[in-house]
Amino acid sequence: MMLYGASALGLAAFGGGAALAKDKEAKAPPKPQNLLSPDAALKRLMEGNSRYVSGVSRRHDFTHEREALVGGQNPYAAVLSCADSRIAPEYAFDSGRGDLFVCRVAGNFAGDETVASMEYTVAVLGTPLILVLGHDNCGAVDATIKSLKDDKPLPGHIPTLVAAIAPSVKAAAQQSGDALENAIRQNVIDNVAKLRSAAPLLNAAAEQGKLKVVGGIYRLRTGTVELLAQS
């Protein structure tokens, strides 16, 4: 697989070296329009959401995109989203193939595998933006609240989800207002902070201004993504 938009840091971290660097110089990225600054990437992402909400999504030429992406990829944004079937980042941001690098897990939390995946897209593919995307009425967060309240473990491997989300639920417990909404928001905030500070790759990219990590809430009824205030 050819790698595009790779920084020297990323190539070194993933065992790249001179051969990949030379290949990068020789080959143009499959989607030149995806070479954006972090702020421009966020603007493009939210413009796509506005089109989706308004019902004016673009017609994407998937045939051409498949051909262009055979040799590599250079997504302009990465999304950590809940696995909920009602949440589809590619639709919600009116994006084409090769535009978004998406990781999905119930409760949209950044476990080790997700952090590693985000390191890959940032350090190797040159992705300038990560969005942690929660959503209202999240079943994983609600199940965590109930499990902690009842002190009753859930069946199967579901307790692993509870353990990952529990710190955010506990942090939000003293907040006024709707307990579920507060926990959903806190979970996004906490995972934005985790990704932004993840050493040695993501934190370095953020400090150098090459990466922006933001959080948002997807509203099921309208399809609107509400960005959370950045700290």
169-222 pLDDT, tens digit per residue, is 999 999 999 999 999 999 999 999 999 999 999 999 999 999 999 999 999 999
pLDDT score for 196 = 98
Indicate if the pLDDT at residue 151 is higher than 60: yes
Domains observed in the chain: 8-227 (3.40.1050.10)
Q: What integer best gives the mean pLDDT of the chain?
A: 90
> Could you read off the pLDDT of 29-76 as tens digits, one per residue?
999 999 999 999 999 999 999 999 999 998 877 787 888 899 999 999
Give 161-186 as a 3 state SS string: HHHHHHHHHHHHCCCCCCHHHHHHHH
The per-residue pLDDT for range 126-141, each reduced to its tens digit, is 999 999 999 999 999 9
- Quote the CA–CA distance of 171 and 174 in Å, as a whole number: 7
What is the reported pTM?
A: 0.89
Pairing mode, if any, of strands 129-135 and 212-218? Answer: parallel
Contact 112, 195 (CB under 8 A): no
Q: What is the pLDDT of residues 80-125, one digit of tens each?
A: 999 999 999 999 999 999 999 999 999 999 999 999 999 999 999 9
Percent residues over pLDDT 90 in the chain: 80
Measured from the Cβ of residue 102, the count of other Cβ atoms closer than 10 Å reads 20
The whole-number pLDDT of residue 13 equals 46
Helices and strands in the chain, H and E counts: 10, 5
Instruction: Supply the pLDDT for residue 44.
Output: 98
The 3-state DSSP class for residue 133 equals strand
State yes or no: cis peptide before 32, omega within 30 of 0.
no
Angstrom CA distances, 168 to 110, 143, 174, 222, stand at 12, 13, 11, 26
